[in-house]
Amino acid sequence: MKKQLVFMAALLAFVFVLSGCSSDNKTVDKKTAEAIDISEYFPSIGMTREYIHYDTEGQTVESIETVNVSTDSEGNDSVYIHEKGGVTTETIKEYIVSSEEVKLVYLINTLGNNETAVVELANKPKWDKNDANKSVGMMTATGLTMEVPAGKYNEVIEITSVIPEDKEGKTIHYYAPESALLRPYSALKTQRTSFLTS
């Protein structure tokens, strides 16, 4: 029962945060968006984070994600996040990260191995995410300060995603420099960065 109350409180706090944010989907101006080095909003190479989530029944679910880099035979770097635990047992996401965008290019999980080209972040006011829902990503706020269970973060950006055919639905995510996606619904158990060699 206590776990269910904690889960419900966290969910209500997350909904409250979303309801108080850019409801009109007004984007930041082009100059502000282009001045952001979007690669700074991807987690640091070598970072390992352990989260505690709560499932729909209030049960504790733990997950660990690690950010790694490897170099292929042609000398190209491949950045990936390896997540164990959570709702899916194990997931590996491969990204191409530049100062202009963060693009998910490969996804491996229990459902299979899939090539993709989803643009999760871009230093533009608005962009096509190139996902199955034909979503549009928008940078709707910059320079925010947010406090979540993992801690307090400055220079946070707000990214709103909408599906053009779905006038009601939207998703709002917050990204902090070197920490990436902030998770208001999860408690960060540990976070550490080590220097990895490829």
Please give the mean pLDDT across all residues of the chain: 80
Dump pLDDT digits (tens) for 73-93: 788 788 999 988 866 678 999
Dump pLDDT digits (tens) for 97-132: 999 999 999 999 888 899 999 999 999 999 999 998
Grouping H, G, I as helix, E, B as strand and the rest as coil, residue 142 is: strand
The amino acid present at 104, given as its one-letter code, is: L
Q: Return all residues near 133 (Cβ < 8 A) that are at least 6 apart.
A: 163
pLDDT higher than 50, residue 6: no
Q: Where are the beta strands (DSSP E) in 98-165?
A: 101-109, 112-122, 126-128, 136-148, 151-163
pLDDT higher than 80, residue 35: yes
Classify burial at 89, counting beta carbons within 10 Å of its beta carbon; exposed 0-12, middle 13-18, buried 19 or more: exposed
The Cα 148–Cα 14 span in angstroms is 9
User: CA nearest 39: which of 97, 80, 118?
Assistant: 97
Between 129 and 60, name the one with better pLDDT.
129
- pTM to 2 decimal places: 0.76
pLDDT of residue 167: 73
Q: Decide if 53 contacts 34 (C-beta within 8 A).
A: no
Q: How far is CA 64 from its chain centroid? A: 14
The Cα 91–Cα 109 span in angstroms is 5
pLDDT higher than 70, residue 183: no
